[in-house]
Chains A and B, each alone.
Chain A
């Protein structure tokens, strides 16, 4: 794996963080949704990340070949993506070894909030309406975390670009 492959690692992180931000956005948009296609209120979702290891990133990744040819580490792993959600279906199944992939989008099974409102069309027999248990503060913190990680990995892509550009200087002059 050379520096171009390293950009794939950072790209996998950017993609994963973006999925996370999208899930947070869906949660916030549906914070008051009492009615879904499956019946019942909207349930909070969150992403689970996993490191994609390929053939053992730590030990074999770093053997590069200075003047010969090294075996590529790209595309050898297939992160298990149990995706039941249209949001993440564009991720593909081969994440760069050493990078991160979305292992799945999990629905939290916390009990929904009950509010007493007998006039509401979705009220149950006892007059309580089930609302999603989504705390906007939690979602905002998650979004800020996704933002910060995204920025960090974008800086990493810049740094990798800088290194490749610097190596072009060897042949100049």
Chain B
């Protein structure tokens, strides 16, 4: 018996990655004034395809690396406030979209289960 679809498992991983993205963005934002701090990030698309390929019930491990291409200020800090603010908005919306999609999947399964008892 399979209670969840492949799509809902994929969406769960998507939600995990969106919240990982949020964690990194929050850490980057917290350190916007720390001298010498380098922005941490990861490539969402790569990590997502990696997560889809692994077994379904393992934890979603993401390794964060330094983001390239950002200019550093004189004190060594290269956090761009605009980039982080955009990442914040993006992860929040990605998460909300994932939750909506997941809900629709579950609603469909529940409707199928209750199909004749209405």
- In B1-40, the 8 Å CB interface with A consists of 12, 15-16, 18-20, 22-27, 29-35, 37, 40
| A3 lies within 8 A of B22 (CB) | yes
* A63 on interface, CB distance cutoff 8 Å: yes
Q: How far apart are A144's CB and chain B's nearest CB, in angstroms?
A: 12
* A160 on interface, CB distance cutoff 8 Å: yes
Q: How far is the CA of A57 from the CA of B57 in the complex (A)?
A: 24
* A129 on interface, CB distance cutoff 8 Å: no
- Please, how many residues of chain A have a CB less than 8 angstroms from a CB on the other chain? 49
Note all chain A residues with C-beta closer than 8 A to B69.
Answer: none
Q: Please, what's the 1-or-0 string for A132-173, where 1 marks a CB less than 8 Å from any CB in chain B?
A: 000000000000011011001101100110110011011011
* B64 on interface, CB distance cutoff 8 Å: yes
Q: How far is the CA of A170 from the CA of B8 in the complex (A)?
A: 12
Note all chain B residues with C-beta closer than 8 A to A13.
Answer: 29-32
In-complex Cβ contact of B99 among A2, A68, A100, A167 (8 A): A167
Interface centre among B20, B27, B92 (most CB of A within 10 A): B27
6 further A-B contacts with Cβ under 8 Å, apart from A48-B35, A145-B33, A166-B92, are A16-B33, A50-B34, A51-B37, A156-B88, A163-B96, A173-B103
The 5 A-B residue pairs with the shortest CB-CB distance in the complex, in nearest-first order: A13-B30, A98-B27, A62-B62, A58-B64, A65-B59
A-B contact pairs, 28 of them (CB 8 A): A3-B19, A6-B26, A13-B29, A16-B30, A17-B33, A50-B34, A51-B34, A57-B40, A58-B40, A62-B20, A62-B64, A63-B61, A64-B20, A65-B59, A66-B16, A66-B60, A70-B59, A99-B31, A100-B30, A148-B81, A149-B32, A152-B29, A152-B85, A153-B30, A163-B22, A163-B92, A163-B95, A167-B99
